[in-house]
Amino acid sequence: MKPNRPIRRFDVFAEYQRLKAIEKDQLSADEAKGYGIWLAKVVAARKFRKVRQKEGEGKEKESKNEEREELIDNKWHALDGIAQTDALFEKEIVQRMGDDFYNRVFSPAVKDAFKSGKDYTEIRDKVRENWKPK
């Protein structure tokens, strides 16, 4: 079985964080999906911002971004006013790769790695190396 689109480190990170939120933070399944995609976007934004920043600009821009990170309905983190929900996780991650691939291949593989105690950095490339799109 193959994914519809290439599997990104972003996808693996979001799924890993979803699992971690369920197990360690005791979040519900829907909240964990929202948290996983929110955290993946925050980390990705910070990574790319650092690459593009000139020295001395970091603190001002970072504090402005942190102000935009809010909680909607005491459940969903938001970025730029958009709630990072379980439905968004489904759309931007699950549907992107395909429901069948996510449920039968991707999620179980990441879950196995997570349950075995492997850190995200240990699995981010290894787990997706044989998953080429259709």
Rounded to two decimals, the pTM is 0.82
Strand partners, 52: none
Q: Pairing relation of β-strands 82-83 and 70-72?
A: unpaired
Q: Tell me what percent of the chain is helix, strand and coil, each rounded to the nearest 5.
A: 65, 5, 30
> How confident is the model at residue 67, as a pLDDT?
41
Structural domain spans, the chain? 12-118
Query: What local confidence, expressed as pLDDT, does residue 56 receive?
Result: 53
Predicted pLDDT at 81: 87
| pLDDT tens-digit series, residues 81-131 | 899 999 999 999 999 999 999 999 999 999 999 999 999 999 999 999 989
pLDDT score at 72: 75
User: What integer pLDDT is reported at residue 75 of this predicted model?
Assistant: 86
pLDDT, tens digit, 9 for 90 and up, residues 14-67: 999 999 999 999 999 999 999 999 999 999 988 766 545 555 555 544 444 444
Cβ-count burial of 102 within 10 angstroms (0-12 exposed, 13-18 middle, 19+ buried)?
buried
* Statement: residue 133 has pLDDT above 90: no
pLDDT of residue 31: 96
